[in-house]
Structure 1
Amino acid sequence: MEKAFRLAILAVLALIFVSSPFANASESPFIVAHKRVALKKINSGIERISVSIDVYNRGSATAYDVTLADDSWAQDVFDSVIGNTSKSWERLDAGSLVSHSFELESNVKTIYYGAPALVTYRVLTKSRLQEAYSTPILPLKILSDAESGKMTEKKLLVNYGSHISALLIVILFMHMVFNPSKQSGNKKRH
């Protein structure tokens, strides 16, 4: 009996010892960054890229010295027009949101694969800077030609092909049920 009681106390103490770091981790900032890009053709040789990055603090504590850096834009492809690719905030309270926007221009026809933006922040309980990355962007088709009819047909096939197939299978099944074959009609029934 005494041995079982000691084992139960040891199990409870071990559980408290193991779960205490997780309890402290839940009281910290949790940074989520969402990066969006929009293309706008200015004229036939220049395209403007509008970049907007939203930084959310989904945690339960304040993040300090928050810095956003989006330096993945190649200098030989893009020229900065409006704003900077980096921004800093003194603090980001729990549950709050900040946004940063900038615009770039490009006169180079290419498909550009951008990297996520980097957000660094400081937590009071840790000495090291913490890092978070934004969502990645889809490849940008800069100064691309208008889509051909073939691409539109492929997109329609991808989007609605399964619906059309299912509809055809249902119609074929109904045809087989309601129109019996000619061989079964010729058989004599006694």
Structure 2
Amino acid sequence: MESLTGNSLMKVLMILFLVSASTATGDPFIIAHKKASLNRLKTGAERVSVSIDIYNQGFSTAYDVSLVDDSWPEDMFDIVSGNTSKSWERLDAGGVLSHSFELEAKIQGLFNGAPAVITYRVPTKATLQEAYSTPILPLNILAEIPPEKQLEWAKRLLTQYGNQISVVSIVVLFIYLIASPSKTSAAKASRKKR
């Protein structure tokens, strides 16, 4: 019985070793995350800041990596800075590549952007491989800001830093109470001097 369990344990360990060895020589696994944010300018125009991060979660290098994000129609957007495409020589295993660009909106409305396309070459395969970024959430470009949204920044500030603000306030109040002489003790001191 003991030799049977020991033998089974050896088989399991051998299978795990072979599986890990086979995945260690695996192909690149490309994941891309696309983000877009709106920035309203004082002039009333609105800009879209786009950033795309490409991750190689595989165990080998991807070569001739190319990014194309052509989901921004020219009749709706002007490129302010950067390009909607970019190429790199390689993306090592565990590595990250980042690209960003900025657009200015020409018209008002709801915009749904498509994922960016990433192509790359793997030495063990003859054809180019393709990966897609995550899509962006719909953008409400040049939308009218309702009055309750105008105080949104204060609400975000309080929700993000509310705990720190309250702790700092309590510490400042405590220091003030200790450092400032109380009026009753000052009155008692003046009576003792007379």
TM-score, scaled relative to structure 2: 0.63
What residue identity is the alignment partner of 2:65? Answer: V
Task: Return the alpha-carbon distance in structure 2 between the equivalents of residues 133 and 25 of structure 1.
Answer: 23
Q: Verify: 1:36 aligned to 2:35, yes or no.
A: yes
Match of 2:122 in 1: 123
Match of 1:109 in 2: 108
* Runs of 4+ with >2 A deviation: 23-26, 147-150
Kindly report which structure 2 residues correspond to 1:25-64, keeping only aligned pairs within 5 A, or say none: 27-43=26-42, 45-64=44-63
Task: Return the alpha-carbon distance in structure 2 between the equivalents of residues 83 and 145 of structure 1.
Answer: 28
- CA displacement 1:11-38 (0-9 Å, x = unmatched): xxxxx9xx99xx4796110000000111
Task: Return the alpha-carbon distance in structure 2 between the equivalents of residues 147 and 68 of structure 1.
Answer: 37
Q: Is the 8 A contact 2:24 2:59 kept in 1?
A: no
Q: Percent identical across equivalent pairs?
A: 60
Mean CA deviation greater in 34-43 or 70-79:
34-43
Once the 2 structures are TM-superposed, how far is the Cα of residue 98 of structure 1 from its aligned partner? 0.8
- CA displacement 1:84-120 (0-9 Å, x = unmatched): 0000000000000010000000131110010000000
Task: Return the alpha-carbon distance in structure 1 between the equivalents of residues 106 and 126 of structure 2.
Answer: 44
Task: Return the alpha-carbon distance in structure 2 between the equivalents of residues 24 and 149 of structure 1.
Answer: 53
Distance 1:96 1:25, change over 3 A: closer
Task: Return the alpha-carbon distance in structure 2 between the equivalents of residues 47 and 62 of structure 1.
Answer: 39
- CA displacement 1:35-65 (0-9 Å, x = unmatched): 0111101135410100000000000000000
Instruction: For residue 104 of structure 1, give the secondary structure of its aligned residue in structure 2.
Output: strand
* Structural RMSD (CA): 2.5
Instruction: For residue 114 of structure 2, give the secondary structure of its aligned residue in structure 1.
Output: coil
Kindly report which structure 2 residues correspond to 1:1-190, keeping only aligned pairs within 5 A, or say none: 23=22, 27-43=26-42, 45-147=44-146
Task: Return the alpha-carbon distance in structure 2 between the equivalents of residues 120 and 130 of structure 1.
Answer: 5
Q: Is the 8 A contact 1:45 1:107 kept in 2?
A: no
Once the 2 structures are TM-superposed, how far is the Cα of residue 147 of structure 1 from its aligned partner? 3.3
Task: Return the alpha-carbon distance in structure 2 between the equivalents of residues 136 and 70 of structure 1.
Answer: 11
What residue identity is the alignment partner of 1:143? Answer: L
